[in-house]
Amino acid sequence: MEICTIMVLWVFGYGSLVWNPGFDFDEKVIGFIRDYRRVFDLACIDHRGTPENPARTLTLEPKEGSICWGAAFCIRGGPEREREAMEYLERRECEYDQKTIMNFYEDEDSLEPTLTGVVVFTSTFDKVLNKYYLGPAPLEQMAGQIATASGPCGNNRDYLFRLEKALFDIGHEDDMVIELANEVRNILGKVGKGLILKEKKNLIGPMTHLPFMSFISGVQVHQLAETAAVAMDS
């Protein structure tokens, strides 16, 4: 009798994978991992930043007692589908130098995991060993960097604002993400108001629009062609 083994791969997303997985999957489950928290300590120089002005994107920091909500994606169907998904993710998540196997949970009151052996892209917390690791920084410094960085996939602030919305949509907001997003809005609001006042002085005839107002609400400013570049967003 021939025995058929069904291959199953689970990948946990805690950043842009939550709203933009970019690969074919068979199932999506909302849940969390234990003893880790999000931090904006990783540089992105090819998606939403450049080598000269790197973006700040997410990685995970061990923190006992913390939980990090996100989404687990399942790929079924054998080694070929698994290989295609992992090749795509490794290109997309090229700043992450580790793949960590973790347990995944759905119920905060239970210590029994829903899934085991879930793949999570993580980083080495060492600036020598990991060239993409920026390390922590004060809130205002991080917000200033996020407010100004941009790259082929768009600007850094939209990554943050979309993350904030995605976590709201799944019903599990992150206080750190909200605080950082509000600080970025504060910075962009000040810049926007200054530019608006300057523009008003030079206007001839009625004002038809207010430049940079979309910064304040977090709506994307740059109209980019969202094709393969968006699919490779990190």
Q: Where in the sequence numbering do the catalytic residues fall?
A: 93
CB atoms within 10 A of CB 9: 21
What is the C-alpha to C-alpha distance for residues 21 and 62, in angstroms, rounded to an integer?
24
Of all helices (H) and strands (E), which one includes residue 166?
Answer: helix 156-169
Tokens 């995991």 correspond to what residue?
113
Q: Specify the residue for token string 């996939």.
A: 153
Burial class (CB in 10 A: 0-12, 13-18, 19+), 79: exposed
In one-letter notation, the amino acid at residue 214 is S
Q: How far apart are CA 61 and CA 125, in angstroms?
A: 8
- By the 10 Å C-beta count (0-12 exposed, 13-18 middle, 19+ buried), 173 is classed as middle
